[in-house]
Amino acid sequence: MNTKFFREEVDAAVDALLMQQVILYPTDTVWGLGCDAELPRAVEQIYKLKNRPPEKACIVLVADAEMFARYAAVVPPNLPELLAAQQRPTTYVVPGSRHLAPNLLAPDGTIGLRVVQADEFCQKIVRRLGHGVVSTSANRSGEATPAVFAEIDPALVRQVDYVAHWRQDDQNRAAPSRVVRVGPAGELEVLRD
């Protein structure tokens, strides 16, 4: 890994997020559009770029269980065990908190939170920003999810504020995250496997 290039890419992405901009970046799953999860105006920009209905919530990437607890109105009592047992990126649907941009929440008040454990790039961005980062696939609503950078619509690439150069040549085809709803006692209902 080119350490200097990696640091520059993390710095540039965080700078864009601090300026309330929308970024295009490789997540721990597929390429995504992102912004600071606490800024309603930035979230609105993502919905416009995707032509996404406002009732369809986005996922928020968080750095650790502590940041998860900041954004979840109800934290699963067994969260450490869930994270330790996780074998692939998993998004947990929980009641959202007041710290999130209100336009990120689903109509039922829930939010999907994913702790980025295995992806150093996303982990560094979220930690440096100090806030959750929106993660939604880099495509227009209803279109196929791009697994690699080359599959992203060039028109969408031109419309974002910042495009990460990190992993643009990577041809590893990642899948979207597993999505589970967490019940009050920590029980899981699989929504997408």
pLDDT in tens, the chain (193 residues): 789 999 999 999 999 999 999 999 999 999 999 999 999 999 999 999 999 988 888 999 999 999 999 999 988 888 899 899 888 999 999 998 889 999 999 999 999 999 998 899 999 999 999 999 999 999 999 999 988 999 999 999 999 999 999 999 988 877 788 999 988 777 889 999 8
Specify the number of domains making up the chain.
1
Q: Which domain holds residue 103?
A: 3-192
pLDDT of residue 171: 84
pLDDT of residue 76: 87
pLDDT of residue 135: 95
User: pTM value?
Assistant: 0.94
Rounding to the nearest 10 degrees, give the CA dihedral for residues 189, 89, 112, 152.
Answer: -130
pLDDT of residue 54: 81
> Strands 188-192 and 59-62, how do they pair?
unpaired
pLDDT of residue 164: 96
pLDDT of residue 31: 94
3-state secondary structure of 3: helix
Chain-centroid distance, C-alpha 156: 18
pLDDT of residue 170: 86
CATH number at residue 16: 3.90.870.10
Q: Tokens representing 134?
A: 């929106």
Residue 167: exposure state from Cβ atoms within 10 A (0-12, 13-18, ≥19): middle
